[in-house]
Chains A and B, each alone.
Chain A
Amino acid sequence: MAPDPTVPALEIVNLKKKYAGTKKNPGTDALKGVSLTVPQGEFFAFLGPNGAGKTSLISIVAGLAVKSSGEVRVHGISIDEHADHAKAFIGLVPQEMNFNIFEKVINIVLDQAGYYGISRAEAMPQAEKVLKDLSLWEKRNEAAQALSGGMKRRLLIARALVHKPRVLLLDEPTAGVDVELRRGMWDFLRELNESGTTIILTTHYLEEAEQLCRRVAIINQGEIIKEGTVKELLTSLSSVTLLVDTKEPVLLSNMELLRGYPITKIDETTLEVKLEHNQPANDIFRKLSSIGINIMNVRNSGSRLEEVFVSLVEKK
């Protein structure tokens, strides 16, 4: 069957998930009607705080959790009607380690291929490739428990790729991974996406979503509160915060002269400037130099996406 490139990689319609409660606890509505379409080839992020429902969503799509209602289609195939066929498209990198820690690395990867219907002999070349790509080939004959935390994360990725999935789902792939390794993983995922794999990840690192993804859905308390391209989300920001480093300490008398301007003093040589959307920064910088403040450096205050995120989540 020739793949149809116009069919979305993932379609979710009004997806709900309620975890059954106990006598004391009334149960949790983890997803309250999520709808979403991710086209093939997309690089997509679910962004949300702890408990937002990201893992619940990924688990339902991957077949690890049972939904309460709604529809999910992977490459046009309903997970209710042809779960097995839908699952064959997916590679899953779960949030928590779920391989047998006593098993050898190579067996974890080859057995996974077997579960997807690929014999050991056929899977070997791809297993070698993914383990090499993720710098685990040298460790292939060691038990998984002998790997470091970062290596175990990479093993989860290698395992998910051995059957060459069309859609890769990653649930917080870089949680607890150091900066250098994280950047390495980003490069790896970018290449994978460029070669045609649809990538859907969850993260609470806003920088990660901003750096990697084209589209982002912000999810909070089981609902998507904003969805769009990274660019759209950034332009929706009503204000931008800049940090200005000054050459000399800013005096209290200087601050008096700046009354009425959206400027606050952070420390001796740092000012925070809040610019309304589309407001030119020239006036403010002119004012600063006119009262004798020399600007050394102007920087963005952290991730801009973070501001979108905070403003959206706080509105709730």
Chain B
Amino acid sequence: MDRHPITTGYYTMVRKEFIRIVRIWAQTLLPPIITTALYFAIFGTFIGSQVAKIHGVSYIEFIVPGLVMMAIITSSYTNTVSTFYFAKWQHTIDELFASPMPDWVVIAGFVTGGVMRGVLVGILVIGVSLFFTHLLIYNMFVLIAAAVLTSVLFSCAGLVNAIFAKTFDAINIVTTFVLTPLTYLGGVFYSINQLPPIFRTLSLANPILYMVNAFRYGFLGISDVSLGLSFGVIIGLIIILLVASILLFKRGTKLKN
């Protein structure tokens, strides 16, 4: 019998994760829809109507791309950090480590799970935003590339965090103290050009700024930073995190003991 641990193994992981995400949709897909709808309603419609235009577009049109990106980031990150941590904690990860799947396939399987959830949530949230505003699409390719790459990036980040996490709390610490502040300060709600110079410069150190701006460019054709730099930052970070995951898997200090 021909065996294909790379393709069939990968497909098995992805299929299983897709079924899980859809089966427990009330936990995986619904929460970001509710949260984002509230943001659209409050910041976009109620407050946004009293806020001046930014870069010549209405406030709600300006924040929709950022809010969608925020939902994608959180969903991708949460998915890998929780599935991997759970697998480690229940030792089901051993099923994968004992199998002939190479490490990079196992990593790809987990990351794809996060991307599936991130992209599904992104599509659903964009759908919801249509109840609050109309959307233009300036550059479909940039839009999709920014969404998918950001999703890959935060799936990898979730994986690396889960490898190090010793407790469930360690997962929440990163979300609360790093991910949430960076997201809120990442130019979702304002253009960094409106900030005093010092805060503008500080904002440039926040990687999420580049993702939000690249994604917004896909919709509106406007960005606070150059598109090339944005994709450079995203792809650079993906490479760093992927290499880190592969090394951590290979060394196995936190995993294979």
Contact = CB atoms under 8 A, between A and B. Distances in A.
Interface of A: 19-20, 59, 62-66, 83-85, 87-88, 90, 92, 94, 96-101, 107, 111-112, 114-120, 122, 163
B204 to A, nearest CB: 40
Given A66-B257, A87-B100, A92-B98, 13 more contacts: A63-B256, A65-B256, A85-B100, A90-B98, A98-B92, A101-B90, A114-B11, A115-B9, A115-B99, A116-B5, A116-B9, A116-B99, A117-B4
Given A96-B91, A116-B100, A88 B5 contact: yes
B187 to A, nearest CB: 40
Give chain B's interface residue range (CB within 8 Å of chain A). 20 to 34
B92 A117 contact: no
A107 B1 CA distance: 21
A200 to B, nearest CB: 14
A118 B8 contact: yes
B252 interface: yes
Contacts of B6: 117
Contacts of A94: 91, 94
A114 to B, nearest CB: 3
Nearest to B90: A100
Contacts of A115: 5, 9, 12-13, 95-96, 99-101
Nearest to B6: A117
B193 to A, nearest CB: 49
A116 B3 contact: yes
Nearest to B251: A66
B16 interface: yes
Interface string B206-223: 000000000000000000
A92 B94 CA distance: 10
B102 A84 contact: yes
Contact of A87 (B12, B13, B92, B98): B98
Interface of B: 1, 3-9, 11-13, 16, 90-92, 94-102, 251-253, 256-257
A81 to B, nearest CB: 13
Contacts, number: 87
Contact of A64 (B7, B8, B12, B94): B94
B256 A66 contact: yes
A176 to B, nearest CB: 17
A94 to B, nearest CB: 7
B98 A99 contact: no
A112 B5 CA distance: 11
A117 B8 contact: yes
A65 B256 CA distance: 4
B3 A117 contact: yes
Contact of A117 (B9, B91, B95): B9
Contacts of B3: 88, 116-118, 163
19 contacts: A63-B98, A64-B98, A66-B256, A87-B98, A88-B5, A92-B98, A94-B91, A99-B92, A100-B92, A107-B16, A112-B99, A114-B8, A114-B12, A115-B95, A116-B5, A116-B9, A117-B6, A118-B8, A163-B3
